[in-house]
């Protein structure tokens, strides 16, 4: 059991470092993303969180973790449909960027690591990842995506989603605190 807890803690630390040094976090220093790239980043980021939540629903027995995962599927599916609808309305075709490709690659690594964990180790790693992921998303939406969005409707949609992401972060932090007590 101690091995799994240590593994989960190391995994969470690795996720946080990966997010902190990802191209998404470094996007401010590179060329600003275009609206089609922003749309793709948002689509990819939402799908990643849906996929993590679906994995949690398969693996977790903890009711708080499962309830949170259900909320992530529901909320991020709604956001994904909204972004896709807005892109269609604006005639914007999402375009892959180094950031969206990096997010997908990191997601594959994170998913593989999560799949290898069980029980409390999985629950802690999943929730730690959700805390780190939402903190990174909040930062990037506020500091990179919103300031660089050229279309007013896209910018407004991003601004409107920010409180939801903050609510997700607060919810994940609450679960994280309860899991860390165990």
Task: Tell me the two tokens of residue 88.
Answer: 């269609």
Predicted model pTM: 0.83
Whether 96 is in a domain gets the answer yes
Whether 169 is in a domain gets the answer yes
CA 149 to chain centre: 20
Under-50 pLDDT residues of the chain = 1-29
Torsion sign across C-alpha atoms 40, 106, 26, 167: positive
pLDDT at position 25: 42
Whether 51 is in a domain gets the answer yes
CA distance 55 to 70: 11
Query: How buried is 145 (Cβ within 10 angstroms: 0-12 exposed, 13-18 middle, 19+ buried)?
Result: buried
Whether 83 is in a domain gets the answer yes
pLDDT at position 20: 37
Whether 98 is in a domain gets the answer yes
**CB-based contacts of 149-153 (< 8 A; 24+ apart in sequence):** 149/35, 149/38, 150/34, 150/35, 151/35, 151/90, 151/92, 153/86, 153/89, 153/90
CATH number at residue 147: 1.20.1260.10
Whether 30 is in a domain gets the answer no
Whether 42 is in a domain gets the answer yes
Whether 61 is in a domain gets the answer yes
- Alpha carbon dihedral 91, 94, 97, 103, in 10-degree steps, equals 150
Q: How many domains does the chain have?
A: 1
Give me the domain span that covers residue 57: 2-25+35-181
Task: Tell me the two tokens of residue 82.
Answer: 């909204």
């Amino acid at each position: 059991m101690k091995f799994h807890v240590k593994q989960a803690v190391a995994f969470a630390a690795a996720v946080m470092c990966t997010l902190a040094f990802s191209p998404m976090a470094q996007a401010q220093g590179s060329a600003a993303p275009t609206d089609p790239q922003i749309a793709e980043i948002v689509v990819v980021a939402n799908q990643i969180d849906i996929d993590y939540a679906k994995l949690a629903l398969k693996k977790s027995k903890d009711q708080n973790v499962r309830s949170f995962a259900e909320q992530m599927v529901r909320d991020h599916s709604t956001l994904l449909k909204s972004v896709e609808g807005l892109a269609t309305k604006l005639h914007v075709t999402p375009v892959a960027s180094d950031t969206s490709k990096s997010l997908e690659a990191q997601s594959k690594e994170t998913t593989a690591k999560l799949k290898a964990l069980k029980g409390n180790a999985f629950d802690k790693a999943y929730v730690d990842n959700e805390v780190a992921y939402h903190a990174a998303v909040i930062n990037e939406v506020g500091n990179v995506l919103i300031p660089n969005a050229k279309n007013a409707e896209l910018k407004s949609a991003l601004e409107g989603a920010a409180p939801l992401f903050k609510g997700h972060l607060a919810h994940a932090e609450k679960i994280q605190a309860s899991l860390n007590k165990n």
